[in-house]
Structure 1
Amino acid sequence: MKLELFDFIDETLELIEKRKESIEKVANSLEKFFTDSFFIQDHFLNVSYRIKSPESLREKILRHNFYIKYKTPENLLDNLSDLIGFRVECRFIEDEDKIYRDIMKLFNIKCKDGFYTNCLNSNIMLQLEDKQPQKQKNGFEIYKIDGKYCKDGVCINFELQIKSLVNVFWGEIDHRVLYKNFNYMLTEDFFRDIMSSIKDNLSMIDRQLMLVYNHLNGMDASNSLTKRIQLQALLSKIIHDIYIVKIRQEIGFVLDFKKSTDVIVNYIFMKGGLEESEHYSTNFLRVLNRLNEIGKNHISFNRYMNFEREIFFNDDFTRKIGNSILEIINKDFRWNLFFRIIFEIEEGNNAEDFEGFLIFVRYRFHENLMLILENKDFIDEEKEEILHCILNTIATNFCKDLDVDFLSDCSIKKLNNTIGKAFENIESFNDWIENKEKLIDMILKHDF
């Protein structure tokens, strides 16, 4: 005969399944509310939630004897504080207190039993009279707030946590290594010492990241070039280190693609155009958060690269280079890796990212040519003819070998310098006609 305890668990899980749609609806409403309320704050990053899984709830009922305490599944759900778990994420540990103060300012209408609501959505209430941050059983502190969503006489409980990036990572370690490890009690002191050491190191990393962030934000506009170079170098190294580990794990060998990551970072920082020039720190943190997600995921390097639609080309230059890359992108590992990294960082539509990158490559040459020609004695039609000829020649040179290093910053600067010197003695369109074949031959023989 089955124990009543397990009948109670089954009935509770059936009740949650029956209410699943309404619980999901409440969770989505809460996620939107907290995102809309805090997205304007610089220290705010993200809101995420999870609805308690059947396995987790079954374990909790057994661990805490909820069957004896609450008697019925309905009573249990009415008192389960973390049926929905929310996490408000911020950058640094000291930002956790800032988020908490933001919450205190927003939820300033007192209800009863220590709960407070707000003027934007009175259905949402938070218990704000408990001391924060709370001390956990493991001795570490956490901002953890009980909440409830009440509408039309029905209340659903949720738990709101505030966590910095390092504490999100720490929480995963603590939960998976200790809480889920049933051998932990056998060597409790040893584990506690090790975990305490890890926590201290994470706190140190948090302080170091904050110093980097404050340093970057403290740079004035006159140092924007230095700021950009520093950010790009750091981000390129992070990308390289993440992917080199994953390549070694899956493929079994290591290749040098540092130049490729430099180009990718250059593209990421330039793709927003001039409007993005004052927001390098924001862009850096956006990509850093994305790389944090990529680092946790499995990446397959033997998958075919697909596009959602046919690629659109803006002109002959992008068409010539684009079609050449498309022919080899699923044959040459370095090209495949190059665009795989771009597509994973930027997410979204692969075709749009590919088109954007081709425009970026064209921009690197086109802007240099415009600077060379602006002080020459050419009319607009003559400039367009020269631009078209040189860009087409550059594309032809690229298509000869299809080496990804052609796109490196060093190679592009070298070719642009070569073109600039060739135009030093060209002042008129007649000069161009006389020297055209010589200049084209020089570009085609350019060694990158």
Structure 2
Amino acid sequence: MRLSIFDTIDSTLALLDERNDLYHELEQQLKSDLYAIFEADAEMIVDIFSRVKTRESLREKIIRNRFYINYDNSEDILDNLSDLIGVSIECRFIEEEYKVLKRLREYFIVPDEASGYFYNENHPELFLDTASRQPQVQKNGFSIYRIDGFIMHNGMKINFELQIKALVHAFWGDIEHKLVYKNTNYYVYDSFMVDILSSIKANLTIIDRQLSIIYNQMQNSSMSDVSISEKSFEKIVTKAINDLFAMKMNESIGFTINLKSTSSILGHYIFIKDIRHSSMNNDRISLLFKTFKKVNNSQMDFENEIVLDGDFSSNDPFIQILGEYLVSVINIDYDWYVFFKMLFFIEPGNNTEDFVLFLKVIKNYLVDDYWLKTSFVRLSMSESVMVQDECAAILARSLVAIKTIAIIDDDKMIAVNKAFVLFIQELETRVINYSDFMNYKEAYYHDWLNRMNHIFNR
């Protein structure tokens, strides 16, 4: 004979399915209302996430929390489920968690005598327990900003749980959730496990503080101080990339290669593309933080080939030559494979477009486009353009000849940039016209390749 507990579970899940459309409608409305409430404070809000309790999660909770004993029927179970709808407001830094709470307390100020919760006249259907003691201490000993609330809809009370988390706390919460809460293997949650989790959380808290200090300094300090802060911020970005992708590689193929060099290159690329040239724009920083969280929560494949979303071609000779080479080795040279796996995951959108953008950023870093276009001014305008393109092609060919990802190492790119400036200045004194240049082009190329070999110790 089947246990009655499973009849209770089945009827509760059936009722959840019956009300599913309503719950999701209210979930989206709740998110929309919260976005509106924080419109004036949008800068510190990274995102607002929400979900309706899933069948699997509800089934587990009914058993784990003994709802089948504490409540008489399925409707009572759903009506008393505190996190039927879950909402998480994610902010950038730990210090902003309280600011979010403070904003909610300032908004939900009208007391409801029946529930003891508070509402706002602009949202009379939303009720929050903003007077509750915050943050709350969890069973694991760690604290969290967690506020109970409910929505009134046609006389029906639908509970929701609102959490406020800085990004590093969201990272840590995901780790703990996987290690302990959702892990069906037997683990003794003893002092050793507590110490390990405490150590993880402490390290994340330190990172949060470093990010906050650097961010505030970049917002307020002089340009001379910003250069120091930029380096610090870039190092933190690089470390986050290294640690997150190392974990994902181990999950995918069972081991991890040394990603420090690749992470450093990718971190610097992201920094010069997104952060430095956007003057530390808040939206870019928030998007970067959200990307790290996405990496943390996603599965990655480090075994199967990279397939570009479209055909690659460019009218720029530098981009075409270097791009053709990279396309040819992207699934052969594992260093480049890993680099582009990481890059395409971090960069949203079409990976062919991201690939071309990467090549443009590298070219601009190696060769100042304005400077190159003002070279060979003794020639006619049409001939100077053709010689400039040929020089860019010589540079691209030499990068291909080096045959290593080290061509985008920051120190190497700086050395190449300086050497190429000198090389062009010397050519300007020699080249009479385009025809003359083409007669000696291969000699010029080998001269430049020797300089490149010296830079790369070949």
CA contact (8 A) 1:170 1:199 kept: no
Judge conservation of contact 1:377–1:429 (CA < 8 Å) in 2.
no
Which amino acid in 1 is paired with 2:364? Y
- Aligned match of 1:235 in 231, 234, 237? 237
Separation in 2 of the partners of 1:197 and 1:399?
46
Q: Distance in 2 between matches of 1:153 and 1:294?
A: 42
Contact 2:302 2:338 (8 Å CA) reproduced: yes
Aligned to 1:38: 38
Give the aligned partner of residue 443 of structure 1.
448
Q: Which residue of 1 aligns with 2:394?
A: 393
Q: Give the whole-Å Cα distance in 1 for the aligned partners of 2:253 and 2:183.
A: 32
Q: 1:425 to 1:301 in 2, by over 3 A?
A: closer
- How far 1:302 sits from its partner (Å)? 1.4
Note closer, same or farther for the CA distance 1:125–1:392 as it changes in structure 2 (3 Å cut): same
Q: Which residue of 1 aligns with 2:356?
A: 355
Tell me which residue corresponds to 1:116: 118
Alignment of 1:258-297 (within 5 A): 258-272=260-274, 276-279=278-281, 283=284, 286-297=287-298
Aligned pairs for 1:308-327 within 5 A: 308-327=309-328
CA 1:154/1:374 → structure 2, altered by over 3 Å: closer, same or farther? Answer: farther
Aligned to 2:7: 7
Provide the residue aligned with 2:336 in structure 1: 335
Cα offset, 1:214, TM superposition:
0.9
Contact map agreement 1:81 1:159 (CA 8 A) in 2 = yes
Q: Deviation string for 1:18-50 (max 9, x for gaps)?
A: 111221222222233324543644443222223
Deviation, structure 1 residue 393? 1.5
Structure 1 residue 98: Cα displacement: 1.3
The answer to which of 18-27 and 117-126 deviates more is: 117-126
What secondary structure is seen at the aligned counterpart in 2 of 1:122? strand
Deviations, residues 256-278 of structure 1 (Å, cap 9, x unaligned): 55443333223212334975134
Comparing 142-151 with 283-292, greater Cα deviation is found at 283-292
Which blocks of at least 5 consecutive residues in structure 1 are unaligned?
A: none
CA contact (8 A) 2:83 2:161 kept: yes
CA distance 1:380–1:105, shift in 2 (3 Å)? farther
Task: Note the C-alpha offset of 1:14.
Answer: 0.3
Is the 1:87–1:163 contact (alpha carbons within 8 Å) kept by the matching residues of 2?
A: yes
The structure-2 alpha-carbon separation of the partners of 1:154 and 1:264, relative to structure 1 and needing over 3 Å to count, comes to same
The residue type paired with residue 338 of structure 1 is F
2:310 aligned partner, one-letter code: R
Q: How far apart, CA to CA, are the structure 2 residues paired with 1:202 and 1:256?
A: 25
1:22 equivalent in structure 2 = 22
The CA distance in 2 between the partners of 1:87 and 1:273, in whole Å, is 27
| 1:343-398 superposed Cα distances (whole Å, 9 cap, x missing partner) | 01113321221121121122223416716946965665454233212112122223
> Which amino acid is 2:352 matched to?
A
User: Are 1:422 and 1:439, in contact at CA under 8 Å, matched by a contact in 2?
Assistant: no
User: Aligned letter for 1:336?
Assistant: Y
Give the secondary-structure state (helix, strand or coil) at the position aligned to 1:311: coil
SS of the residue corresponding to residue 81 of structure 1 reads coil
Aligned length, in residue pairs: 444
Q: Which moved more, 1:196-205 or 1:151-160?
A: 196-205
CA deviation after TM superposition for structure 1 residue 162, in Å: 1.6
Q: Structure 1, residues 133-173: CA drift from partner, whole Å, max 9, x if none?
A: 33444444332212122234443211111223444345446
1:133–1:142 contact (8 Å) kept in structure 2: yes
Q: Residue type matched to 1:66 in 2?
A: F
Question: Any conservation in 2 of the 1:135–1:142 contact (CA below 8 Å)?
Answer: yes
Amino acid at match of 2:153: K
- Alpha carbon RMSD of aligned pairs, Å? 3.6
Amino acid at match of 2:33: F
For residues 86 and 196 of structure 1, do their structure 2 counterparts lie closer, same or farther at Cα, with a shift above 3 Å needed? Answer: farther
Measure, in 2, the Cα distance between the counterparts of 1:187 and 1:44.
37
Q: Shift of the alpha carbon at 1:339?
A: 0.8
1:131 matched to 2:133: yes
Please tell me whether the aligned partners of residues 93 and 164 of structure 1 are also in contact (alpha carbons under 8 angstroms).
yes
Classify the secondary structure of the residue corresponding to 1:146: strand
Q: Deviations over 1:63-102 (max 9, x none)?
A: 4443454323223322322111222223443322111101
- The DSSP-based 3-state class of the residue aligned with 2:327 is helix
Q: For 2:331, what is the secondary structure of its paired residue?
A: coil
| Conserved? CA contact 2:82–2:161, under 8 Å | yes
2:107 is aligned with 1:106: yes
8 A Cα contact 1:317 1:392, kept in partner = yes
C-alpha contact 2:252 2:303 (8 A) present in aligned 1: no
Residues 116/375 of structure 1: CA separation in 2 closer, same or farther (3 Å cut): farther
Identify if the C-alpha distance between structure 1 residues 389 and 48 changes in structure 2 by more than 3 Å, giving closer, same or farther. same
| Deviation of the 1:177 alpha carbon | 5.2
Name the % identity.
Answer: 29
SS in 1 for 2:368: helix
Q: Distance in 2 between the 1:181 and 1:236 partners?
A: 30
Partner amino acid, structure 2, of 1:239: I
CA distance in 2 between counterparts of 1:305 and 1:62 reads 44
Residue 304 (structure 1) shift: 1.3
Letter of the 1:337 counterpart: V
Matches within 5 A, 1:208-247: 208-219=207-218, 220-223=221-224, 224-244=226-246, 246-247=248-249
The one-letter code matched in structure 1 to 2:83 is D
